[in-house]
Amino acid sequence: MDTADRKNTALFETMPVPQAVRTMAVPTVISQLIVLIYNIADTFFIGRTGNAAMVGGASLILPVFNISLSISGLAGIGGGALVSRLLGRKETEEARRVYSLSVYISVLVAALFSLGVLFFNAPLMRALGADEENFQYASAYAFFVITLGGVPTVLSNTLAALLRSVGESKKAGFGITMGGLINIALDPLFMFVLMPEGREIVGAGLATCLSNCIACGYFIVTILLMRDQPVLRLCSPRKLPQRANIAGIFTVGLPSAISTLLFDLDYVVIDRLMSAYSGNALTAVGIVLKAERLPLNVGVGICQGMMPIVAYNYSAGNLKRMRETKRYSMLLGLVCAAVSIALYELFAGQIMSFFIKDSPEVVRLGTGFLRARVLATPLMFLSFFHVYLFNGFGKGRYALFLGVTRWLVFNIPMLFILNRLVGMQGIVWSQLCADILTVALSVAVYRGYEKRHIDNQIQ
C-alpha cells in the first residue's frame, strides 16, 4: 500500500473522530469562506462606486452563479460520495472509473449551461427581475463569470470534491482558497485601474473568471503530480463504471444538484418579490443574502468534510464510527451557528455599511433584514446536515425528498404566503418559519431511517 493510501486509510478508519473531522472539515470550511469572501468582495468593491443599480445587477447574478455550482454538486458530490463508499469496500479500480466519469460529466454539463446563459441572456435577466437600470450590469457580469468562466469554475469545485473523497481535503481546500485570494487581489486592479468609470462590473467579472481559471489549472496539475493516488487517474471515456455505479453517481448527484437549484430558486423568488417594493429594498436584500452565506458556508464546509468519513465507514460497516462522526459534526456546526447569530445581531449595521456607502436607506433596511434572517442559521445548518448524511449513505431519494420538500413545500410557498399577509417583512421572516418545519421533518425522517438500518447493527 502506498504512503498516501496508508495515510488516508488511517484518517477514515483509525484516527480519533474529532481529529479526523477537523482534518477534513477545516480546509473545506476555510475554502468555503474564501469563496464567499471573493463573491462578497465583488459586491464590496462594486459598492464603493455608490451605484446601487450596479450592486443590484451583481446581486441578481448570484443565484445563476450558484446554479452553475450545482453542476459540480451533480458530479462532485454524487461521484465523490460514491468514490468514498467504494474505497470503504476496497474497490479501487471501480472508484477510479467513477472519478473519471464524474470529471467528464462536470465538463460537459458546465459547457452546456454556459452556452445556455449566453444564448438566452435577455430572457434570463428579465426572469431574474432585472430592470432598465441594472439590466446591462447584470448581463455583463454574467458573461464573464458564467459564460466564460463557467467550465473552470465547475471543474475546480468538482475536482475539489473528488479530492476530499479520497481524504485529500488539504489539497482541495488550498486550491479553492488560492483561487479566492487571487480574485480578491485582482478585483481592485481590474475594476479601478484597468477599467474606466462606469465599467467596474466588467473588471469584477474578469477578475472572477481569471481567478477560477488559475484555480482550475492548479487542480489539474496537482492531480497529475499525485502519482501515489491510483484513484485520481482518468480512464478512457469508454471505460465506464458498472451500470449500478453510473446510476449511483446520479442517485446522489441529481438530488444534490436539484436541492441547490431550488435553494437558488428561493433566492430568485426573494429578489422578485422584494423588487416590487423598491430598488433600495432589492439592493438591501441582495447584500443580506450574500452576508448570511458566511455562517451557512461554514456549515456546508463542515458537512462536506464530514461526508467522505460517513460514506466510507457506512460502506465499510463501521457504523459506530459513522455515528460518532455524525454527532461531532452536528455539534460543531451548531456551535458555529450560535456564534454567528451573536455576531450578526451585534454588528448588522456595520456589516451593511461595509458593503455600500452613501445609501442610508439601504443600510437601514438591510440591518433589519439581516438581524431577522440570521436567526434561521442553526435550522438551515441542520437542514443541509441531514441531506449530506443521506448523500453519504448513498440514499439519494431521501436527500431528494428532504430537499424538494424544504423548498417547494415549505420555503417558497411560505415566501408568497407571508408576503401576502405581512408584506416586505414577511419575505424576510419566511426562512425562519419554513425551516422550523423543515428541521422537524428532517429529524423525523432520519430517526426513522436510523431505527430501521443503523441501530440494530451497532453492537
Residue carrying C-alpha cell 428561493: 266
Inter-CA distances, 448 with 132, 134, 383, 459, Å: 51, 48, 16, 19
Residue 253 lies in a domain: yes
Quick one: pLDDT at residue 7?
63
pLDDT tens, residue by residue, 42-52: 777 887 777 77
Contact 449, 389 (CB under 8 A): no
Residue 9 lies in a domain: no
DSSP state of 196: P
Residue 285 lies in a domain: yes
> How many CB atoms lie under 10 A from the CB of residue 182?
20
Domain count, the chain: 1
Residue 8 lies in a domain: no
Contact 441, 402 (CB under 8 A): yes
The per-residue pLDDT string of the chain (459 residues; one tens digit each, 9 = 90 and over) reads 455 556 667 888 888 999 999 988 888 888 878 777 776 677 778 877 777 778 777 777 777 787 777 777 778 888 888 899 998 888 889 989 999 999 999 999 899 999 998 898 888 888 777 777 778 888 888 899 899 998 999 999 999 989 998 888 899 989 988 988 898 899 889 988 888 887 888 888 899 899 999 999 999 999 999 877 888 888 888 888 888 888 888 888 888 788 877 887 888 888 888 888 887 888 888 888 888 888 888 998 899 889 999 999 998 888 889 999 999 999 999 999 999 999 999 998 888 888 776 778 888 888 899 999 999 999 999 999 999 999 888 888 898 899 899 999 999 999 999 999 998 999 999 999 999 999 999 999 999 998 887 766 544
Residue 7 lies in a domain: no
Residue 3 lies in a domain: no
Quick one: pLDDT at residue 28?
85
Quick one: pLDDT at residue 459?
47
Contact 291, 41 (CB under 8 A): no
In 120-242, alpha helices (H)? 121-127, 135-142, 150-165, 169-189, 200-225
Residue carrying C-alpha cell 408576503: 419
Length of the chain: 459
Quick one: pLDDT at residue 280?
84
Contact 21, 325 (CB under 8 A): yes
> pTM surpassing 0.85?
no
Residue 345 lies in a domain: yes
CA distance 239 to 355: 50
Residue 192 lies in a domain: yes
Q: Which domain holds residue 109?
A: 17-457
